[in-house]
Structure 1
Amino acid sequence: MTDNQRAITEDQWRNAKLIWDYHQMHQQLKPCDVAIGLGSHDLRVAAFTADLYLQGLVPTIVFTGGNSPNTAARFPRGEAVHFREQAIGLGVPADAVLIEPNAANTGQNIAFTREVLAAAGITPKSVLLTAMPYMERRAYATCRKVWPEVEVICASEPLEFDDYLKALGDEAFVTHMLVGDLQRVIEYPRLGFAIEQDVPEDVHAAYESLIHDGFTSRLLT
């Protein structure tokens, strides 16, 4: 285990768990007009989205995302392309999966996907937005801002915090990401990128404590 993959302390784990729980919205799943799978380093988002299709919750999927420094080596042809291939490999018909291969941030994910759907003649009234577990709240807030006309349900693969840490194999990396996403939940409304959301005092205190401990690599500069 490298220094960047070191285990976090018990106090840091508790603070990270508070933020993890806050990021997940636990919205009730229901049938929607389309699923939008947000590209990332985690192919399980594609697998989870495929499962929602196979359950009959959506008739169409759009995977969205180009590349980022975190994903270029893993997904050289772009996040959306690799996510689509994963979903098809899991049994989703190819003609049910569209891609948006250019987005470089969450706002673009939503805006560019809306254009892809419009070009395909699809005007959804409801969207099932899928993302990594710690990205749910930010994704929801962004979609509500960028595409206020649609009903948004945001979901992720149901995983306990410890199970996710074990699956990623890098406790520090996940903690950096949790802190970075919470900063965006706090700051993006002021910048016009997302709707405002309440952050409980204990969650904010956990966030400040982890920043003090040096989990700052994903903070906005």
Structure 2
Amino acid sequence: MISVQMWSDAQRLWDFQQMHHEPRPCSVGIGLGSHDLGVANVTVDLYQRGMFPLIVFTGATSRTTHDRMPRGEAEHYREQALEMGVPASAILVEPRARNTGENINFSRALLEDRRIDVSSVLLVSKPYEERRAYATARKLWPAVDIISASTPMTLSEYVDSIKDLRLVLDMLVGAQQRLLIYPDQGFMIRQEVPESVAVAYERLCAEGFTSRLVSAP
């Protein structure tokens, strides 16, 4: 159980991470690997709606996904997409990336190796990482237009789907920390963070939702 204040702070971080981009046709859709198969589902839905002709699923495994996705996040995403009717010819798999920066860089390299022209990317992530994914892609792939997308759902619905409240709040806090420290490290563009979001983040850190924080240099 968490307090009303903790939930309110988590909601504030959740709302800030949403980019509210309207999906539109792009050169390629890139599904960022994670513990959440919902990313694959949304990517497939966008593909089937004609938003892009080609999918790249990117991701190895992490401590969160090692047991549930032993063949790698991108491979499990591919299998999900095939089951949902996407032809194998429309899917590329990038199986090495272990963080968002590698997701972007390795996917870009894969597409360049295949001589696929990319002017725009529909970037699909978890709902609470839309802004982080967008900021990273804008930094590492500035020549393309980036549109962010995720499963359209509330924080409460997402927690119910993951069935692990602490994991979701830890991940929210981790995503917010990266928005604060990664611009100085050259990993993403800087995003203006409202004071109310910064305060909510600090309170959740003080409450111990810190397992996904990284050490600042």
TM-score normalised to structure 2 length: 0.97
SS in 1 for 2:82: helix
Do structure 1's residue 120 and structure 2's residue 139 form an aligned pair? no
Other-structure match for 2:96: 102
Which whole-Å CA distance do the structure 2 matches of 1:141 and 1:62 have between them? 19
Match of 2:79 among 77, 85, 89: 85
Residues 55-102 of structure 1, C-alpha deviation per residue, up to 9 Å, x if partnerless?
A: 011000000001111111111111111101101110111100001000
Gaps of 5+ in 1: 1-6
| Amino-acid identity (%) | 53
Question: How far does residue 172 in structure 1 lie from its aligned partner after superposition?
Answer: 1.6
Structure 1 runs of 4+ aligned residues shifted over 2 Å read none
Residues 100-149 of structure 1, C-alpha deviation per residue, up to 9 Å, x if partnerless?
A: 00011111111110111112220200000000000110000000011000
Which whole-Å CA distance do the structure 2 matches of 1:87 and 1:16 have between them? 31
Other-structure match for 2:203: 209
Match of 1:47 among 29, 32, 41: 41
SS in 2 for 1:37: strand
Question: How far does residue 161 in structure 1 lie from its aligned partner after superposition?
Answer: 1.1
Other-structure match for 2:150: 156
- Indicate the RMSD between aligned Cα atoms, in angstroms: 0.7
Other-structure match for 1:169: 163
Other-structure match for 2:21: 27
TM-score normalised to structure 1 length: 0.96
Gaps of 5+ in 2: none
Match of 1:74 among 68, 79, 83: 68
Which whole-Å CA distance do the structure 2 matches of 1:31 and 1:199 have between them? 29
Q: 2:210 is matched by which residue type in structure 1?
A: T
Question: How far does residue 163 in structure 1 lie from its aligned partner after superposition?
Answer: 0.7
Which whole-Å CA distance do the structure 2 matches of 1:115 and 1:170 have between them? 35
Residues 138-166 of structure 1, C-alpha deviation per residue, up to 9 Å, x if partnerless?
A: 00000001100000001101001111111
